[in-house]
Amino acid sequence: MPDLDLVTVGGPLRVFALLHQARPVLLNLGEPGGFDITPWADRVQLVDAEYADPWELPVLGAVTAPAAVLIRPDGHVVWGRRGHQPGTHRHADHLVRTAYGGTARRGTPG
């Protein structure tokens, strides 16, 4: 995961600063409030942020920023989403529950 300069409601923030708590981070770069992490909020940080520029990735170069990414505590991306895709909330929920524990949610919008 690149160490981006994010803009959040609380002010500017670097991605790697989010990893200091040694917890997974669900970085939402799309519509604020687009994820409900209530069942696993004690294990996963949710950060609504903005970053408009392309990402620079090793080997690949510049890529379009995804709408959301789930970042492991070691900085590796586990899951990503481009724009609004049906079912992605359920996929993220399943992934987090499987990897980090938590209870299933019912009626999750997709």
Share of the chain above pLDDT 70, in %: 75
How far does CA 107 lie from the centroid of its chain? Answer: 21
User: How far is Cα 74 from Cα 21, in angstroms, rounded to an integer?
Assistant: 11
Q: Which domains does the chain have, with CATH numbers?
A: 5-100 (3.40.30.120)
CB atoms within 10 A of CB 40: 19
pLDDT in tens, 41-84: 888 999 999 997 888 888 888 888 888 999 999 999 988 887 65
Bridge-based pairing of strands 5-8 and 77-81 is unpaired
The structure's pTM equals 0.79
Tokens of 21: 């708590």
How far does CA 73 lie from the centroid of its chain? Answer: 12
Handedness of CA 41, 66, 48, 4 (dihedral sign): positive
Pick the range with the lowest mean pLDDT from 19-28, 41-50, 85-94, 99-108: 99-108
